[in-house]
Amino acid sequence: MRKGRTIFCGLALSMLLFFPAALAGAGESEDLAIEEIIENVVLDDDGREIPEDAPAETAETAADETAIEARADFIDRIIALGKDLYEKADGKRKRAHYASDIYVCKNFTVYLFRQNRDDFRMAEYPDTQLVIPNNLPAKQCRPYAYGFLWEEIPAEKGNPFEVGAQFIYDSSLSKAENLEKAKDFMRQAQKGDFFQMSADYEYGVGAHSAIMMGYDPESDEIHWLDSNMRGGKNKEGIRYGLVQYDAVRSVEWWANAFCHKKRGATLYRLRQDIVYANQE
């Protein structure tokens, strides 16, 4: 009898010791499960975790990204059309004699701009059609030479360009000092810049217009497209100009072209707030 009572007490004691531990274990498992359920992270479109301290995208950020995309698209379209006209010319000179000829240097850059402008606006003036200024008349350029300055048209009138950089020969400095400044100026060229210069170089004396495709710092060279930098007249005295695409010359070559007294050059650059037209 005593033996049976001892076995029963032992079983009872074991149960008392076992069940609290089991219950505690069950509670711990449940707590862990709950922690796993509520541990959420934010993922981006590619499934990557976005850190908690990452700045949230705002309407302003989205607008800035849209402007960057639209501006780049505008520039790409301008350059693409230049390439198309270059390929269609197939190395043959095109008439660049009359005021209406699109292959006159300034006319060429204006044509590329106007053919692509209708899909774009400035965010600040969304209802205003974009315009490209004419060259400043010779009388208004004095005491400087004609060719490297545009008329000043305000943005509210549709001018989407700003002066990105400019060089004007400084007579108080030596020729060598001016040349270094001219080279530094050319190294600021960016893709899509509309370039104006008053030159005295191997292809003639006077104004020229081009569109920059970029500056290569490794080779210190400029890539550009244009028309009528190089050309000549036929027997009837009508001028024909060569269309160039991705032409390449050194920064020093360019600087020497316009680094002369009373001459200079300007890089006209599209504003950063270019957006698509009719954008809601």
Contact call for residues 270 and 71 (beta carbons, < 8 A): yes
Secondary structure (3-state) at 2:
helix
Tell me whether residue 47 is in a domain. Answer: no
How far apart CA 66 and CA 121 sit, in angstroms, is 12
Tell me whether residue 124 is in a domain. Answer: yes
Tell me whether residue 191 is in a domain. Answer: yes
Secondary structure (3-state) at 63:
helix
Starting at the earlier edge strand, list the strands of the sheet with 264-270: 94-95, 239-250, 221-233, 204-216, 194-201, 264-270, 161-168
Query: Which tokens hold the place of 158?
Result: 């549709």
Residue position matching structure tokens 């300055």: 149
pLDDT of residue 46: 59
pLDDT of residue 54: 57
**Which range of residues forms the domain containing residue 76?**
60-276
How far apart CA 178 and CA 259 sit, in angstroms, is 7
How far apart CA 24 and CA 1 sit, in angstroms, is 36
pLDDT of residue 20: 47
How far apart CA 268 and CA 74 sit, in angstroms, is 15
Tell me whether residue 53 is in a domain. Answer: no
Secondary structure (3-state) at 19:
helix
Tell me whether residue 231 is in a domain. Answer: yes
Residues of the chain with pLDDT under 50: 2-3, 6-9, 11-13, 15-38
Q: Could you count the other beta carbons within 10 Å of the beta carbon of residue 196?
A: 25
pLDDT of residue 65: 75
Tell me whether residue 189 is in a domain. Answer: yes
Contact call for residues 164 and 137 (beta carbons, < 8 A): no
pLDDT of residue 269: 98
Half-sphere exposure of 149 (CA within 13 A, CB side): 17
How far apart CA 86 and CA 184 sit, in angstroms, is 29
Contact call for residues 187 and 215 (beta carbons, < 8 A): yes
Contact call for residues 194 and 109 (beta carbons, < 8 A): yes
Q: Could you count the other beta carbons within 10 Å of the beta carbon of residue 128?
A: 15
Who's near 8: CB < 8 A, 6+ residues apart? Answer: none
Tell me whether residue 70 is in a domain. Answer: yes
pLDDT of residue 62: 60
Q: Could you count the other beta carbons within 10 Å of the beta carbon of residue 24?
A: 10
pLDDT of residue 61: 64
Angle at 268 between CA 172 and CA 178, to 5 degrees: 20
Q: From 265, 98, 118, select the one nearest 194 (Cα to Cα).
A: 265
Contact call for residues 231 and 96 (beta carbons, < 8 A): yes
Q: Identify the DSSP state of 11.
A: H
Number of domains in the chain: 1
Q: Strand pairing partners for 210?
A: 195
Tell me whether residue 181 is in a domain. Answer: yes
